[in-house]
Amino acid sequence: MVNQPRGPDGRWVKYKYGAGAMATAGVVVAATNGIGGGTAASLDSAASQALKGKSSSKKSAQKGRHSESWQRLGWRQLKKTAKRELECGPHSFGEVQRFFLRHPCVDLDRMLVIVDDGAGNTITVSVAWVKMPKASDASDLKRLVDKDGTGNVVLFGEAPPGSRFTGKNYDSRQAKKLVVIAESAPASGRPSEAALETAVDVAVEFPAP
């Protein structure tokens, strides 16, 4: 496992699948080459609003209020698609797939969301809820999926694995028998690393459908 820094909320910032570039979580890029002062100010304002609304956004997410959770960041949900599977093996890869062959899951729900970050960019967020037979199985799965280079559940909207979601912007959590996995990636424009990290921090809090 690679050395991983902690983010502003104390969670490990995870980089999976051998991702080479290590970005610092929580850093907001206010201006870049080629961006004028007005645009930079707009990005600054959007990023500031998102950071201020993050706590209340996560609370809305925990209650399953999807659109509201994004609105509290100053964002807008553009699209949401979900799908349920009864098996995890065919919808996973790497060591994680081999784990499911030995420890089949009970249920797999996957969701793909596209959000507008309020700064002229869109972000794709994919969430997977994996229900295991026992809490100990869920704990083993989370430990494995959090390691760099071990594979993952094939996230909704990803084909082939790793083509869209590289593991760079990633988070997970366990709730008894349930493991929730979330990743984000740019859909259009150039969303900041802070926005991409905020997207997974919120999405991982959503309850299973």
Of 1-15, 104-118, 122-136, 141-155, least confident by mean pLDDT is 1-15
85, 137, 205 from 176: Cα distances, Å:
20, 10, 14
Query: Tell me: the pLDDT tens digits for 170-196?
Result: 999 999 999 999 999 999 999 999 999
Instruction: Please report whether residue 139 resides in a domain.
Output: yes
* pLDDT above 60: residue 58: yes
Instruction: Please report whether residue 11 resides in a domain.
Output: no
Query: Tell me: the pLDDT tens digits for 87-112?
Result: 999 999 999 999 999 999 999 999 99
Instruction: Please report whether residue 110 resides in a domain.
Output: yes
Instruction: Please report whether residue 132 resides in a domain.
Output: yes
Q: Nearest to residue 202, comparing CAs of 132, 105, 93, 117? A: 117
Instruction: Please report whether residue 169 resides in a domain.
Output: yes
For residues 29-46, average pLDDT: 46
- Cis peptide bond N-terminal to 191, omega within 30: no
* pLDDT above 70: residue 12: no
Instruction: Please report whether residue 18 resides in a domain.
Output: no
Helix axes 135-145 and 94-102, enclosed angle (nearest 10) = 160
Mean pLDDT across the chain, nearest whole number? 83
Distance of alpha carbon 6 from alpha carbon 94, whole angstroms: 26
Distance of alpha carbon 80 from alpha carbon 83, whole angstroms: 11
Res 44: pLDDT: 57
- Is residue 196 within 8 Å of residue 169, measured between CB atoms? yes
Instruction: Give the H or E element holding residue 179.
Output: strand 178-188
The residues, any chain, with a CB within 8 Å of residue 160's CB and separated by 6 or more, are none
* pLDDT above 80: residue 13: no
Distance of alpha carbon 187 from alpha carbon 156, whole angstroms: 14
For residues 140-155, average pLDDT: 96
Res 157: pLDDT: 80
pTM as predicted? 0.78
Res 16: pLDDT: 55
Which residue range is the domain that position 117 belongs to? 55-203
Counted domains in the chain: 1
Distance of alpha carbon 4 from alpha carbon 86, whole angstroms: 33
Instruction: Please report whether residue 46 resides in a domain.
Output: no
Res 170: pLDDT: 96
